[in-house]
Amino acid sequence: MKKVLFATTALVATAGVAAADVTFGGWGRFGILYNEANVGNETNITSRFRLQIDATAESDGGVTFGARVRMQQNNTDDNRQPAVAGSNSPAGTGFNGARFFARSGGLEVGVGNIYGAIEFMPGMYPIDLGLTGLGYEYTAYQFRADAYSSGGNGSAGSNGVEVLYSMGDLSFHVSASDTNDRIAAHVAYSWNGWTFALGAQDSNNAADTELAASVGGSFGPVDVTLAYADNGTAGDHITLAGRFDVGAATNVEVYVADADNFANASYGVDFNHDLGGGTSLRGGIASLSNDTVRADLGVRFNF
């Protein structure tokens, strides 16, 4: 990640500014994606470019104020601004809704395109399968809660607000938005190399996640995570995932997941090989709950 410090005459002249900076970073990926469900067009090129901008300023009292925005483009995005009304997929080549925050010590208050207490709790993303995620069926809450949106407004358009607090090994996160009148919270605690987390959500949508829990740690050389979510009308979802090294530069990830709304159990395996300099070769294969197969292979580079 690259940091650029902007010090303009206007900024210097602003009273009460102790320090300010803007950080640019992100990543890109490209490769091949196979999706058995796309009959007649199963194999395609896949790509994503993400540019993230973080801007902060610190008051004389030591409070950090900031904002985060992203510009993201997938090869499947519509290249139009703004997105056509009623479209389920956001337009590409545009900035998402901003997340604003104020932070002091272990306390942070965020508004706008919030992270969301359920989505942000430990164990909801136990691995990052392959190059593209390959369906993300290992994510127990299955996107039934507020989450930071890379390609749209997220909760920035629905009064999203959240409070995060950490004190040593203990952390809390509470969030709320006008989306389904959601109110969510999680608490997490790390002890002896293991992290335990418990989350709950109330909303007026019976399909939203109601309860989530996870535990993650290491058994010798293997990092493991067990995650559970009660996803309302979709029922229970449980995931067991693991990661282990194969040599100095390569690791392997595996998962198995089952849910009340799955026709079949979902499972997958991948590899990530570090090429150095922030670049990696990645690939994986997953058998999804609808009994179709996805696989990918490609390169990711961080900047």
If phi over 0 gives left and psi between -120 and 50 gives alpha, with beta otherwise, what is residue 180? left
Start-to-end Cα distance in the chain: 5
At 1, the amino acid letter reads M
| Closest listed residue to residue 194, CA positions, set 166, 216, 212 | 216
Residues in the chain: 303
Average the pLDDT over each of 56-65, 89-98, 204-213 and give the range with the smallest value.
89-98
**Backbone torsions φ then ψ of 234, nearest 5 degrees:** -80, -10
Domains, in order of start, for the chain: 2-302 (2.40.160.10)
Give per-residue pLDDT as tens, 188-222.
999 999 999 999 999 999 999 999 999 999 999 99
| Mean pLDDT to the nearest integer, 62-72 | 96
Is the pTM higher than 0.75? yes
Give per-residue pLDDT as tens, 269-294.
999 999 999 999 999 999 999 999 99
